[in-house]
Amino acid sequence: MICRVCDSEKLELAIDLGKQPWANHFLEPDEIGKEPYYPLRVVFCHKCKTAQLDYTVKKEIMFSNHTYLSGITKSLSEHFKFIAVQIDKRFYKNNDVKSALDIGSNDGTQLKHYKDLGYRVLGIESSGNIAKIANESGIPTINDFFNLELSLKIGRKFNVINASGIFFHLEELHSATEGIREALTKEGVFIVQFLYMKRIMENLAFDQIYHEHLLYYNLNTIETLLNLHGLSMFDAYLAPTHGGSIIGFVTHRDRNCNPSERLQALRQAEIIDKSNDFAIYLAFADRIKQMKVDNLSYVDAAKRQGKSIFGMGAPVKGNTLLNYFGIGTNHLDCLVEKNELRRGLYSPGQHIPIIIERELQAPPDIYYVLAWNFKNEILANNQDLLESGTEFYFPVNPKDF
């Protein structure tokens, strides 16, 4: 195997989460026990410092029919709205004609906010069923994978290109980045939102490691990739989304934009904290092992006391966590989920049944919160349960919240 970014062969194993099923395929009853397992390992490139999976589940398997809906959580939709309003105010307030392209546009939640601000919008979404939902709600969406070829086929340029989370997914990394350069107007802004590996490690949010996430960037490493394709970052800030994300602002490199002070500060922090050193990754791997011991001891003790435990949420990342910890039907009776697309399904690997939240008969003694990134929203929505004694346990507890 060679590095996905720089082609170097100097890769070394950093984090091994064992063999796991593809986390985003919740199982129909007749699929239980038949799900294939794949290695889930993060390797580190000693040349360009990019952390990445050494095994790729084919994108056609992973992204053609996924069930994650971005519109479903209020805080995520509000975050998307904030982004759109901020971009418009900062760059395009006075433009009569403006356009936005969203790569990995999901159900169109991000583009809806741009449309409301007067943008001509286009979404690219690889999942057929979700692209359909977007089109039906009035957000024009192409059902395909974004790469240079598609960018040339679209043949238009955009003031704003948004890619949220997608930079972890890109199997065709170089072609897609080239496609972005091609589709961006001369003075356009590419907004890239990605999980920030430095923060993920500090927050012990290891469940963000799953097969869709092929790459785990720090600023240093994503800037290497962008620069390779004639793009450069001129501003960035940290957001708490998904346990630690960066919102980066990128434009054509030949504009020679000066990096903002806050971007320079973030770059400096990576140097001071040695965030691009292999040793940091090894230390992270050791702390994850300890989390497993601690979590098993907590759920085992609760079961010994006869308590009932339900998982809260059935997020994709929850499967990494459950499968790595070995928390299954012995511990959790069910996963309680809002997303109707997951009705009647079972978690891959552990085979825990999913129950739709509003159909729940009675609450458990303990909610084991897999959707921990919505901690504030969850605690706010469940005040009555908290008062009546239901415990909420957060296996991952980022300090950003």
What tokens appear for 86 in the block? 């901020």
Q: CB 1 → Zn ion: shortest distance, Å?
A: 11
Backbone angles phi, psi at 366, to 5 degrees: -135, 135
Q: x-or-dash pattern for Zn ion, window 28-67, by CB under 5 A? A: -----------------x-xx-------------------
Separation of alpha carbons 391 and 394, rounded Å? 10
Segment interacting with Zn ion (CB under 5 A) among 8-16, 205-213, 367-375, 393-401: 8-16
Backbone angles phi, psi at 361, to 5 degrees: -75, -55
Closer CB to Zn ion, residue 45 or residue 166? 45
Backbone angles phi, psi at 86, to 5 degrees: -65, -45
Separation of alpha carbons 400 and 129, rounded Å? 34
Closer CB to Zn ion, residue 167 or residue 310? 167
**Binding to Zn ion by residue 222, rule CB under 5 A?**
no
**What is the number of other CB atoms lying within 10 angstroms of the CB of residue 198?**
22
Q: Please answer whether residues 86 and 239 qualify as being in contact, where contact means their C-beta atoms are separated by less than 8 angstroms.
A: no
Residues in contact with Zn ion, total (CB under 5 A)? 7
Q: CA 17 → CA 14, 33, 213, distances in Å?
A: 10, 20, 14
Q: CB 96 → Zn ion: shortest distance, Å?
A: 44
Q: CB 176 → Zn ion: shortest distance, Å?
A: 17
**Binding to Zn ion by residue 8, rule CB under 5 A?**
yes
Q: CB 276 → Zn ion: shortest distance, Å?
A: 11
Closer CB to Zn ion, residue 173 or residue 247? 173
Q: x-or-dash pattern for Zn ion, window 305-334, by CB under 5 A? A: ------------------------------
Interface positions, 62-101, toward Zn ion (CB under 5 A): none
Closest listed residue to residue 71, CA positions, set 101, 102, 110:
110
Q: CB 67 → Zn ion: shortest distance, Å?
A: 33
**Binding to Zn ion by residue 266, rule CB under 5 A?**
no
Which residue is it, tokens 């602002």? Answer: 249
Q: CB 45 → Zn ion: shortest distance, Å?
A: 3
Q: Which amino acid is at 231?
A: L
First to last CA, the chain: 38
Per CB under 5 A, the list member of 6, 239, 282, 341 interacting with Zn ion is: 6
**What is the number of other CB atoms lying within 10 angstroms of the CB of residue 390?**
16
What residue ranges bind Zn ion (CB under 5 A)?
3, 5-6, 8, 45, 47-48
